[in-house]
Amino acid sequence: MRDNRLCSLLGIEYPIIQAPMNWITGADLAAAVSNAGGLGTLGPNAGARTLTKDVNETGERLRQQIRKVKTLTRKPFAVNFPMGAGDAEGEGGAFCQRCVELALEEGISAAITSVGPPNVYTKVFKDAGVKVLHAVSTASQARKAEQAGVDAVICEGYEGGGYKALTELSTMTLIPMTADAVKIVVVAAGGIADARGMAAALALGADGVCVGPRFMATHECDAHP
Ligand SMILES: Cc1cc2nc3c(=O)[nH]c(=O)nc-3n(C[C@H](O)[C@H](O)[C@H](O)COP(=O)(O)O)c2cc1C
């Protein structure tokens, strides 16, 4: 899709992003999606098989996953940084901060920031040449993200798995509201699982789609069969 804004922004062939899904979206899945022409994404706990409250252990695990993706593909891929998520005590900020630091050390081309405001990490990523896609659930959040300098918003409707917001706007209403509200690239998420859903999202004004659980039905996904 040569003239597609999301493809141009990320240097990918198809405007399809594999959504981050915590530990089940590891290096094998991210690399397979990127090799197929979409954008694969490492979840924040990619590669985890046990629970840990150790920030450094979490960080080093993510570092190994980033390195593994790079052995499996030369195509662009993303890493997810949920600002609020982390451990049971709500100390997600420290986990996220460490993961951002090491991702910058390792070198990544795209970051998906979520569960938090857009002004925390956008500048640090942009200064390092990393494209920033920020998850939002309302048009006003999308405007805020645009003002903060992100490259794209992922507008996530209430249908989305692991829904993170307090609002209940459905994907079908959120896409046109967001597309009208901002000039930057708009990616639609929430309930999109096949070509018809993707066509509908593009018709409503999205530049591309971000798809989660559909990718569970792959051999590369780390979800239990
Ligand atoms: C099992 C599961 C885990 C998820 N984990 C994360 C996560 O770690 N970080 C995040 O930003 N979003 C997470 N999400 C949300 C997805 O990234 C994505 O926005 C959503 O799945 C898109 O809608 P869909 O489920 O209808 O495809 C998760 C979703 C699911 C289903």
Q: Which helix (H) or strand (E) holds 188?
A: strand 185-189
Task: Decide yes or no: CATH 3.40.1390.10 for domain 5-216.
Answer: no
Section 104-116 average pLDDT: 97
Q: What is the pLDDT of residue 15?
A: 98
User: What pLDDT is recorded for position 78?
Assistant: 98
Left, alpha or beta for 109 (phi > 0: left; psi -120 to 50: alpha)?
Answer: alpha
Q: What is the mean pLDDT of residues 124-128?
A: 98
| Mean pLDDT value across residues 90-100 | 84
pLDDT for res 4: 98
Average the pLDDT over each of 71-80, 144-153, 156-165, 193-202 and give the range with the smallest value.
Answer: 156-165
Query: What is residue 2's predicted lDDT score, i.e. its pLDDT?
Result: 67
CA 30–ligand 1 middle distance (angstroms): 14
Mean pLDDT value of segment 130-144 = 98
User: pLDDT value at position 148?
Assistant: 98
Asked whether 21 lines ligand 1 (CB < 6 A), one says yes
CA of 20 to the centre of ligand 1 (A): 6
Mean pLDDT of the chain: 94
Contact 84 CB / ligand 1 (< 6 Å)? no
How many CB atoms sit inside 10 A of residue 11's CB? 12
pLDDT of residue 88: 43
For residue range 58-89, what is the model confidence (pLDDT) as tens digits?
999 999 999 999 999 999 999 999 998 544 45
pLDDT digits (tens, 9 = 90+) for 26-54: 999 999 999 999 999 999 999 999 888 89
Buried b (16+ CB within 10 A) or exposed e, 13-49: bbbbbbbbbebbbbbbbbbbbbeeebbbbbbbbbbbe
- Whether the predicted pLDDT of 201 surpasses 70: yes
Q: Is 34 helix (H, G, I), strand (E, B) or coil?
A: helix
Task: Label residue 163 by pLDDT band (50, 70, 90).
Answer: confident
Answer for the pair 42, 80: CB distance below 8 angstroms, yes or no.
yes
Question: How many angstroms is it from 153 CA to the middle of ligand 1?
Answer: 15
C-beta separation of 86 from 95 below 8 A? yes
